Structure 1
Amino acid sequence: MTEGDPADKLSATRQFVVVVRVAIEGNGEVTGELVDPISEQRRRFTELSALADEVRNWIEDVVGKAIDDQHRTE
């Protein structure tokens, strides 16, 4: 199986995309943002631990909403 191959999607009925932009400043400071291109929501961060938290929160939000939507349609 290769990336992008139909088998790569397994049996997914929905897919989600998030963009993470990271900048490392000259003094070593890390800044960036997490962008959901569908909802156009942006979450900014200034530490790597905050980045990990933002990605985790985004996944929990999106997956939770998808599960709720699926339960409503059943």
Structure 2
Amino acid sequence: MIASPWGFELSEVRAPVLLWHGTEDVNVPIAVGRRVAQQLPDARLRVFEGAGHAVGMANQAEVMEAIRAAGERP
């Protein structure tokens, strides 16, 4: 088994969540990323066209800037 229950529903998460997902991810299909984003009350999904599973590694500057900006959110 690759995944197991997390012990909570995504709809219960109250913290803002930033999600990055590549359209060519062969480990976790983009449909899963979109479904997760829809279930989280305060999620922002950034989709990288043509990117694979290591989307954060290939787009480090953008990802790090988004994390920095999120830290400044009221």
- Please indicate, yes or no, whether the TM-score normalized by the shorter chain is above 0.5: no
User: Higher strand fraction: Structure 1 or Structure 2?
Assistant: 1
Q: TM-score by structure 1 length?
A: 0.35
Q: Which TM-score applies when normalising by structure 2?
A: 0.35
Q: Which fold has the larger relative contact order, with Cα–Cα distance below 8 Å and residues 6 or more apart in sequence?
A: 2
